[in-house]
């Protein structure tokens, strides 16, 4: 079984498989360029090519038969993504071409790259830290511009710099504590140690570290929201305009719209972006008591979907106003505490909203009136108390969040022990554990098992 960490020459398709104009096959390894040279029509030219240059030539198969006309981007160690000699082959994108190129590389001694192995090698060769390694897949998976921007900041090293700055302060606090412990036998230092009993020499700095860690921990919710998105469910009575609003937000006619109540029998879902947040928007069957067996099943499914919603858009028909059925449902507890946005629909032909309905968003699914206001309300509700406009970098992976929580807990424990008057030799281990947690985030402290699991979730070719 091939494991991460060997020095074999590796190759993988880096573009989606299928029919396309171009495909990119990546290679890397200490002898990758020499091995690749044996597969091209101009081996000497490729072997002597300096880094960051392009070589034109044919990929050759068995008996030196031509497979495809290509250009090869050459990278020389250590100035490459992986830190090794590497080459990217740009060929035509058909299945047969890519298969033949990969087969030729296998015959030349390349093995298939493991998921994320190129990025793993970049980490092992000190080209990037673990926060930047994780951001690679965040960029690949980004669904909106906001998610992409945040991932780029982490790839650029902003999070790494933030973690290292916090760690440096924490190390300073730990060093101050251990200084008194190491020299406790000295009469002068012993006197000073007694003076500092029950406090940290740099207690104010430790509180600053705790505040910075708390900010990073709090940033996880908003970063995951922009990465993974949320589910918004449109609910309401039949013929309130739910499907029309769904089509307006999706910007295409996905749901069937008629004047006949009960047209929607099952829920329908589409992906949209709301102020940079990926949202899975669901249109549901109108909620009412029905003798129709099929419609009844649709209502039951709608109620089930509502229970797992991150936000619910409850649509009120503005031409009839809030009815007894609406009120009964709103007080039924079916929402299970999910955030609720009341939407007064059909504003183009509806009567004015009563003053006691001022919290509703007035829209017209037909004309688009109020849709921008509704989108702003959805984003505001999903973000809740978290500051979406904070310019500081945040954490986006569960691994990072877990370690930050541990470091935060250890720092808080150290401060609590200091406030309780405990000795420095009891406080120092908590600080030391916090420092180690921050080292794990960037990869300064790591284990093979952690790395295998983390990079194993990457796509092949990265």
Q: What is the mean pLDDT of the chain?
A: 85
Is the bond into 339 cis (omega within 30 degrees of 0)?
no
Whether pLDDT at 407 is above 80: yes
Half-sphere CA count of 418, side-chain side, radius 13 A = 25
pLDDT of residue 108: 95
According to the model, what pLDDT value does residue 187 have? Answer: 44
Selected residue with higher pLDDT from 367 and 305: 367
**Model pLDDT, residue 289:** 55
Least confident among 99-113, 250-264, 303-317, 334-348 = 250-264
pLDDT of residue 454: 61
Instruction: Report whether pLDDT(423) > 80.
Output: yes
Rounded Cα–Cα distance for residues 222 and 130 (Å):
21
* CB burial of residue 54 (10 Å; 0-12, 13-18, 19+): exposed
Give the pLDDT score at 251.
86
Residue 59 has pLDDT above 90, yes or no: yes
Task: Write out the H or E segment, with its range, that includes residue 122.
Answer: helix 117-124
Contacts of 286 (CB under 8 A, 6+ apart): 236, 237, 238, 239, 240, 242, 261, 262, 264, 299
pLDDT of residue 3 exceeding 90: no
Helices (H), 344-391: 371-383
pLDDT of residue 152: 94
Least confidently predicted of 105-114, 165-174, 341-350, 389-398:
389-398
Q: Which residue has the higher pLDDT, 94 or 328?
A: 94
Strands (E), 135-290: 230-236, 268-274, 277-283
Q: What pairs with residue 232 in β-bridges? A: 281, 311
Among 455, 402, 442, which Cα is nearest to 216's? Answer: 402
313 near 302, Cβ under 8 Å? no
- Whether the CA torsion 375, 380, 383, 384 is positive or negative: it is negative
pLDDT(24) > 70: yes
pLDDT at 259 over 60: no
Q: Please check the confidence at residue 296 and state whether its pLDDT lies above 70.
A: no
Q: Which domains does the chain have, with CATH numbers?
A: 10-128 (3.30.1360.120), 130-443 (3.40.50.300)
For the cut 80, the answer to whether the pLDDT of residue 102 exceeds it is: yes
Q: Between 191 and 350, where is the model more confident?
A: 350
**Cβ–Cβ < 8 Å for 84, 29:** yes
pLDDT of 87 above 60: yes
193: pLDDT strictly greater than 50: no
Distance from C-alpha of 264 to C-alpha of 461, rounded to nearest angstrom: 43
| Count of other CB atoms within 10 angstroms of residue 190 | 13
Contact criterion met (CB below 8 Å) for 52 and 74: yes
430: left (phi over 0), alpha (psi -120 to 50) or beta: alpha
Q: Higher model confidence: residue 459 or residue 317?
A: 317
Cα-based angle 247, 249, 251 (whole degrees, multiple of 5)? 65
User: How many Cβ atoms from other residues are within 10 Å of residue 152's Cβ?
Assistant: 14
Provide the b/e sequence for 402-435 (b: ≥16 CB within 10 Å): ebbebbbbbbbbbbebbeeeeebeebbebbbbbb
């Amino acid at each position: 079984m091939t494991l991460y960490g060997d020095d074999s020459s590796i190759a993988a398709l880096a573009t989606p498989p299928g029919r396309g104009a171009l495909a990119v096959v990546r290679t890397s390894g200490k002898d990758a360029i020499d091995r690749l040279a044996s597969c091209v029509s101009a081996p000497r030219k490729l072997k002597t090519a300096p880094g960051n240059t392009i070589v034109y030539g044919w990929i050759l198969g068995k008996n030196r038969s031509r497979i495809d006309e290509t250009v090869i981007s050459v990278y020389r160690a250590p100035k490459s993504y992986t830190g090794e000699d590497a080459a990217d082959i740009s060929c035509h994108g058909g299945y047969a071409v890519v298969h033949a190129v990969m087969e030729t590389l296998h015959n030349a001694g390349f093995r298939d790259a493991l998921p994320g192995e190129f990025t793993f090698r970049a980490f092992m060769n000190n080209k990037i830290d673990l926060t930047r390694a994780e951001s690679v897949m965040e960029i690949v998976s980004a669904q909106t511009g906001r998610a992409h921007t945040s991932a780029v900041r982490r790839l650029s090293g902003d999070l790494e710099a933030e973690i290292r700055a916090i760690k440096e302060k924490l190390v300073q606090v730990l060093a101050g504590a251990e200084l008194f412990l190491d020299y406790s036998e000295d009469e002068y230092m012993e006197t000073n140690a007694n003076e500092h009993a029950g406090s940290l020499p740099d207690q104010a700095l430790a509180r600053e570290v705790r505040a910075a860690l708390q900010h990073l921990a709090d940033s996880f919710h908003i970063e995951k929201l922009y990465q993974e998105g949320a589910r918004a469910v449109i609910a309401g009575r039949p013929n309130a305009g739910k499907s029309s609003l769904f089509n307006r937000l999706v910007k295409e006619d996905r749901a069937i719209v008629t004047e006949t109540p009960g047209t929607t029998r099952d829920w329908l879902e589409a992906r949209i972006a709301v102020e940079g947040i990926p949202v899975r928007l669901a249109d549901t069957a109108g909620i009412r008591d029905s003798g129709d067996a099929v419609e009844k099943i649709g209502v039951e499914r709608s109620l089930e979907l509502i229970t797992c919603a991150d936000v619910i858009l409850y649509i009120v028909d503005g031409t009839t106003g809030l009815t007894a059925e609406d009120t009964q449902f709103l007080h039924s507890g079916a929402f299970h505490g999910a955030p609720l946005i009341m939407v007064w629909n059909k504003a183009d032909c509806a009567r004015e909203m009563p003053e006691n309905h001022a919290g509703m968003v007035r829209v017209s699914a037909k004309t688009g009136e109020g849709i921008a206001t509704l989108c702003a309300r959805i984003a505001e509700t999903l973000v809740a108390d978290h500051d979406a406009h904070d310019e500081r970098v945040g954490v986006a992976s569960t691994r990072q969040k877990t370690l930050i929580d541990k470091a935060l807990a250890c720092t808080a424990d150290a401060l609590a022990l200091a406030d309780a008057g405990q000795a420095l030799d009891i406080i120092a281990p908590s600080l030391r554990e916090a420092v180690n947690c921050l080292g794990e985030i960037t990869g300064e402290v790591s284990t093979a098992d952690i790395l295998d699991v983390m990079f194993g979730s990457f796509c092949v070719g990265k």
